Amino acid sequence: MRILQIVPSISLIYGGPSQMVLGLAPALAKENVKVTILTTDSNGDNGQQPLDIPLNRPIQQDGYEIIYFRCAPFRRYKFSLDLLKWLKNHAGEFDLAHIHALFSPISSAAATVCREKKLPYILRPLGTLDPADLQKKKQLKKLYVELIERQNLAGAAAIHFTSEQEAKISARFGVNTKDLVIPLGVKPTQPNYQSVIRSQLGIAEDISLVLFMSRIDPKKGLNLLIPALEKLLADNHKFHFVLAGTNPQDPDYEKKIQTQIENSPLRSHTTITGFVSGKLKTGLLQAADLFVLPSYYENFGIAVAEAMVAGIPVVISDQVHICQEVSDSESGWVGKTEVSALFELLQQALQNPTECQRRGKNAQKYALENFSWDAIARQMIQAYQQILKK
């Protein structure tokens, strides 16, 4: 079986949703699926240099291959004419395409090419069909749906959702395409950098480390988290808050959050790291006592799954779409998108370190059993095979 994975970018700067294919591809390759990733050299939307990689030729990696194409002529929208030309010339060499992102010009155009070339394709919307997300640039998206995306959805062999909740609430625009619900995977953390990270950040071992690690975006609920943490400080709770993340699409909002913390009582109890990866990311996940993500909407919550597999109990909103799994497995605490609700959950967690440890162990057990890439790859292969039988 030869599978194309098409994604606008796999740069680290765009976070988990884009990076997902780098977890799926080697897992599929282990099961003897031939995988080719098509992507661009995009590495940010505000003047950052493109990825420094060879273009227009396969790069072998972990049993699969990646082909990068120059992001042009529209850098801001991660578009590539070269990618589309390649797809037109080579579509017949593959059995199926798995396209990641909607309302993205390169993904939309790739779906059109696949239909023209009779190549079956799956679309993964990355939360863009969530009613809350559709409110952003509402009129433009309505036009986009009418001109392009409804036809792409109707022509897909399946729509890949990463949680039952995402599938349940997503808009379909009158299209009856098959749902495919398969979660994202995470890799277990191996080396132990916990004590090193605490030492580097000057956080004592007896101080609870509360970690937010995600994109700095209005939908992530930082307007709830910051006042909730301020209330905890006012109630004399001892903790250190680490804000890890960036936003290459909206640096003004990122600066606004940084300024808010700098002008808050939190400033002497907070470390702002910016974007993290590698040892620093691993170390933060291992050092944290509590992970928090009070998002207004989240189609899966890959950062939550990464925290869980590291053994951290999570405090999340009921709009993070793996909230039911977290609740059922007692892997953390789930509440409403309200400052008071978030404050109460954080207070419960910080006052009960033994319960935190228990829920952290539950979280790790659940994540290892349900979010391993090997298990997800096998589910994906079954889905691919069922589509190709038709």
Distance, in Å, from the CA atom of 204 to the CA atom of 199, rounded to the nearest integer, reads 8
Q: Where are the domains of the chain?
A: 2-185+372-389, 194-370
Question: What residue ranges in the chain does DSSP mark as E strands?
Answer: 2-6, 34-40, 59-61, 64-69, 96-100, 121-124, 158-161, 179-181, 208-213, 239-244, 270-274, 290-293, 314-317, 332-335
| pTM, 2 dp | 0.86
In the three-class reduction of DSSP (H, G, I as helix; E, B as strand; rest coil), residue 10 is classed as coil
Alpha-carbon torsion (211, 215, 216, 222), positive or negative: negative
Residues 6+ apart with CB under 8 A from 177: 153, 154, 156, 157, 158, 159
- Extract the residue ranges of the chain whose pLDDT is less than 50: none
Q: Are residues 292 and 314 in contact, defined by beta-carbon separation less than 8 angstroms? A: yes
How many residues are listed for the chain in this entry? 390
> By the 8 A CB rule, do 134 and 169 touch?
no
CATH topology identical between 2-185+372-389 and 194-370: yes
Q: Which fold has domain 194-370?
A: Rossmann fold (3.40.50)
Question: What's residue 14's pLDDT?
Answer: 76
What class, spelled out in words, does domain 2-185+372-389 have in CATH? Answer: alpha beta
Residue 85 CA to residue 158 CA, distance in Å, equals: 24
Which string of DSSP letters, residue by residue, matches 101-147? -SS-HHHHHHHHHHHHTT--EEEE-TTTTSHHHHTTTHHHHHHHIII
Q: Which residue has the tokens 């291992």?
A: 286
pLDDT for the residue numbered 74: 65
pLDDT at 46: 66
In 3D, which of 359, 273, 349, 277 has the Cα closest to residue 313?
359
What confidence tens digit (pLDDT) does each residue in 90-147 have? Answer: 999 999 999 999 999 999 999 999 999 999 999 999 999 999 899 989 999 999 999 9
Q: Is 146 exposed, middle or buried (0-12, 13-18, 19+ CB in 10 A)?
A: exposed
Secondary structure element (H or E) that encloses residue 365, with its range: helix 353-370
